[in-house]
């Protein structure tokens, strides 16, 4: 790549997409958006124009071949797009090319799409449009059957749009996922910029992704990006860690909820830290999470506790057993508990729900217990996306966040280890809880593997749990070989023997 | 006698536009000599009419009268099929394959 990206960008305004596209679509060019039925193509096109008007005051022209303009007006109203109002203000114009009169006009001899082009030009001039959407080209193919004409005419349309200086989105049909870019295999050769929207079943879950296949001479992120279609927000691409603008590191320390653990970490967690606690079931991860929340509430901070592992009632009972009254904390308005099993929604929806809660409730602390429960429903790669995306938000907002995780007992697919390693790497503080045999007893041990930016305690210490919570005791000497069996993040997350039994 | 009224939409003064006009006039002269009107609309100059008529392809021929209206797209280079599609007298009942000149 030659230095900076010289191609000017036109932000779509679509939630999260512009980050993937490194700023937006190539400006004053045409971009093909291809997808199967129901993949969100029309929505992409509508949002491209609507955000243009709402965010940048750039008028737009919508050319519809399939749905009638009335239909699009009606469907867009639920997203808060008042197309009718924009039409009356001269900011939005339809070119309705949906099948109406003359749809079955027979063709005798050669023809071109001069009528369409002049109508688009006219609408662009009248509104002063900067953005044009054409939805969808597939409909022209079914109505006009001469492929050579169509290919030639697509060039003409793309050329006309570029001459007008507008940035345009043209949608096209794909017959199947992962089988060519477009149904007719023609469109993608006409356009230099191609995006594919997918809607596939993965691990028995419907999953939507967006992929930028090519951008002429313009950098973009590669691969498929998860997105969801939220009822009021429209398309939301789940962003990743690099979305965060590196904020200044916080120097404020907060308590973990355990004075001994604070000491081990060099004086508590930094306010903007992401903490990962890993350990087998029963070693005290949930307890650590609860103590962390309780100390936040005591300090007058708002806290969110997101459990994927237990119901509210189970959690209340556990907490009561350790002398914490979650109900009272909730009653004080400082604690919000979210408990759903992972299976009730897609990962993207879980993410959105959490993000919404963070926006509304503005917590100072967040606990997610446990990430491992999410492994049941998503691939490691998606889980990494989730952690990184959430991490980006909480760091920016300086929300001290504690994730817990259990080493999985299952065989982890190859490649997955690298990903769990990345999750572990992402954490600013990494804490390991482990069982160990000591003098004929099963005991618990704790070690701080990493505390970024702090001088932390490197010793392995004994942990006891009783009715008042977790107590970190003396340094364990001469038994470190038990932990060195698997003290690194890789083996913490990797396959382990059945000694841990089934996970909760 | 019924007057045949046509509107021919074209884009600019291209070969194709010219061919469409010539072919349409030839057909009119052959079938309804002296009883036709042709209005030519250049959509590049009058895009509003293209919008109103929902025209996508050019050339497009609309038969406005007699009713019912008919529309054919293309330069009408195949006279037999064009005459049939535009419903000139004597072409209605016969399929274009069997209908000789």
User: Which of A320, A291, A319 is closest to A303 using CA atoms?
Assistant: A291
* pLDDT the model gives residue A288: 93
Chain B residues in contact with A113 by the CB 8 A cut-off are 56-58
User: Is residue B85 scored above 70 in pLDDT?
Assistant: yes
- Position A30 scores a pLDDT of 92
Whether B72 and A121 lie within 8 Å, measured CB to CB: no
Q: Which pairs from A39-42 meet CB under 8 Å and 24+ separation? A: A39/A174, A39/A197, A39/A198, A39/A199, A39/A208, A40/A197, A40/A199, A40/A208, A40/A227, A40/A229, A40/A235, A41/A135, A41/A136, A41/A171, A41/A172, A41/A197, A42/A66, A42/A67, A42/A72, A42/A135, A42/A136, A42/A171
Other C-beta atoms closer than 10 Å to the C-beta of A320 total: 12
B23-62: pLDDT as tens digits: 999 999 999 988 999 999 999 999 999 999 999 899 999 9
Quick one: closest CA in A to B11, which residue?
A: A114
The helix or strand, by DSSP H or E, that contains position A466, with its residue range, turns out to be strand A461-466
Who among B11, B47, B62 is closest to A112 (CB)?
A: B11
Tell me the nearest-neighbour CA distance from B12 into chain A, angstroms.
9
Assess B76–A contact: CB distance below 8 Å, yes or no: yes
Residue in chain A closest to B42 (alpha carbons) equals: A115
Q: CA torsion sign, A60 to A65 to A69 to A73?
A: negative
**Predicted local confidence at residue A418, as pLDDT:** 58
End-to-end CA distance of chain B: 23
Phi, psi of B29 (to 5 degrees): -60, -35
pLDDT of residue A12: 95
pLDDT at A455: 82
Q: Which residues sit opposite A402 in a β-bridge?
A: A275, A367
- Tell me the pLDDT tens digit for each residue of A393-403: 888 788 999 99
Q: How far B19 CA sits from the closest chain A CA (Å)?
A: 10
For the segment A461-478, what is each residue's pLDDT rounded down to a tens digit? 889 888 777 899 888 876
Q: Is residue A123 within 8 Å of A62, Cβ to Cβ?
A: no
pLDDT in tens, chain A (504 residues): 444 457 889 999 998 899 888 899 999 999 999 988 888 999 999 999 999 999 999 999 999 988 889 999 999 998 889 999 999 999 999 999 887 644 578 889 888 889 999 999 999 999 999 999 999 887 776 666 667 777 788 888 888 999 999 999 999 887 766 556 665 566 667 788 999 999 887 666 677 889 898 887 778 877 788 888 887 788 988 765 444 444 556 788 999 999 999 999 989 998 889 999 988 888 889 999 999 999 999 999 999 999 998 899 999 999 999 889 999 999 999 999 999 888 888 888 888 889 899 999 999 999 999 888 888 788 777 787 788 778 878 887 889 999 998 876 444 444 455 566 667 777 889 898 888 877 778 888 898 988 887 788 888 888 988 877 789 988 887 655 444 444 333 333 333 333 333 333
Q: CB A106 to CB B73 under 8 A?
A: yes
Structure tokens at A57: 């005051």
Q: Is B64 on the interface with A (CB under 8 A)?
A: no
Q: Searching chain B, which residue's CA lies closest to the CA of residue A102?
A: B71
B contacts of A64 (beta carbons < 8 Å): none
Q: Tell me which residue of A67, A73, A127 sits closest to A96, measured CA to CA.
A: A67
Residue A461, SS3 per DSSP: strand
Tell me which chain B residues have a C-beta less than 8 angstroms from the C-beta of A102. 54, 60, 62, 71
The interface pTM score, or ipTM, of the predicted complex is 0.89
Structure pTM?
A: 0.63
Residues of A whose CB is below 8 A from B47? 118-119, 121-122
For chain A, the average pLDDT equals 82
**B25–A contact, CB cutoff 8 A:** no
Give how far A126 is from chain B: nearest CA, Å: 11
């Amino acid at each position: 790549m030659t230095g900076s990206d010289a191609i000017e960008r036109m932000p779509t305004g679509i939630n999260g997409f512009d980050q993937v596209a490194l700023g937006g679509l190539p400006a004053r060019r045409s971009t093909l958006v291809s997808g199967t039925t129901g993949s969100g193509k029309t929505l992409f096109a509508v949002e491209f124009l609507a955000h243009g008007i709402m965010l940048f005051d750039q008028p737009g022209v919508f050319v519809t071949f399939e749905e009638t303009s009335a239909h699009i007006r009606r469907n867009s109203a639920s997203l808060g797009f008042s197309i009718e109002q924009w039409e009356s203000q001269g900011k939005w114009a339809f070119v309705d090319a949906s099948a109406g009169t003359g749809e079955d006009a027979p063709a005798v001899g050669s023809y071109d799409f001069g009528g369409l082009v002049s109508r688009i030009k006219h609408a662009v001039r009248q509104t002063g449009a900067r953005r044009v959407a054409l939805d969808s080209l597939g409909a022209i193919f079914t109505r006009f059957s001469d492929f050579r004409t169509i290919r030639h005419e697509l060039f003409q349309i793309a050329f006309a749009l570029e001459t007008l200086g507008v940035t345009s989105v043209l949608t096209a049909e794909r017959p199947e996922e992962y089988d060519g870019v477009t149904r007719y295999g023609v469109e993608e050769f006409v356009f230099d910029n191609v995006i594919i929207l997918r809607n596939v079943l993965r691990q028995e879950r419907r999953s939507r992704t967006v992929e930028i296949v090519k951008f002429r001479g313009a950098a973009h992120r590669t691969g498929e990006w998860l997105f969801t279609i939220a009822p009021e927000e429209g398309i939301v691409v789940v962003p990743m860690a690099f979305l965060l603008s590196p904020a200044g590191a916080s120097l404020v320390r907060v308590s973990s909820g355990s004075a001994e653990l604070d000491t081990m970490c060099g004086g508590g967690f930094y306010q903007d830290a992401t903490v990962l606690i890993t350990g087998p079931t029963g070693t005290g991860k949930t307890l650590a999470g609860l103590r962390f929340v309780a100390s936040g509430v005591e300090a007058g901070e708002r806290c969110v506790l997101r459990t994927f592992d237990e119901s509210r009632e189970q959690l209340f009972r556990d907490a009561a057993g350790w002398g914490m009254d979650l109900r009272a904390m909730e009653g004080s308005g400082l604690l919000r508990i979210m408990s759903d099993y992972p299976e009730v929604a897609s990962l993207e929806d879980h993410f959105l729900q959490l993000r919404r809660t963070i926006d509304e409730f503005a917590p100072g602390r967040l606990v997610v217990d446990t990430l491992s429960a999410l492994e049941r429903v998503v691939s490691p790669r998606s889980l990494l996306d989730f952690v990184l995306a959430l991490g980006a938000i909480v760091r920016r907002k300086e929300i001290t966040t504690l994730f817990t995780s259990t080493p999985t007992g299952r065989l982890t697919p190859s490649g997955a280890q690298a990903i769990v390693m990345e999750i572990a790497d992402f954490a600013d503080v990494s804490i390991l809880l482990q069982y160990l045999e000591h003098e004929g007893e099963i005991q618990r041990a704790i070690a701080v593997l990493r505390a970024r930016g702090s001088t932390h305690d490197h010793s392995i210490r004994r942990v006891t749990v009783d009715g008042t919570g977790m107590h970190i005791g003396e340094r364990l000497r001469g038994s470190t070989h038990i932990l060195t069996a698997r003290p690194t993040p890789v083996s913490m997350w990797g396959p382990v023997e059945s000694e841990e039994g089934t996970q909760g | 006698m019924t007057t045949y009224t046509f509107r021919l939409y074209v884009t600019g003064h291209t070969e194709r536009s010219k061919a469409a006009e010539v072919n349409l006039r030839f057909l009119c002269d052959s079938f309804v000599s002296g009883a036709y009107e042709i209005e030519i609309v250049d959509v590049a100059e009058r895009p509003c009419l293209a919008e109103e008529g929902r025209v996508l392809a050019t050339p497009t021929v609309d038969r406005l009268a007699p009713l019912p209206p008919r529309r054919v797209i293309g330069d009408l280079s195949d006279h037999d099929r064009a005459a049939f599609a535009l419903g000139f007298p004597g072409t209605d009942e016969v399929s274009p394959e069997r209908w000789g000149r």
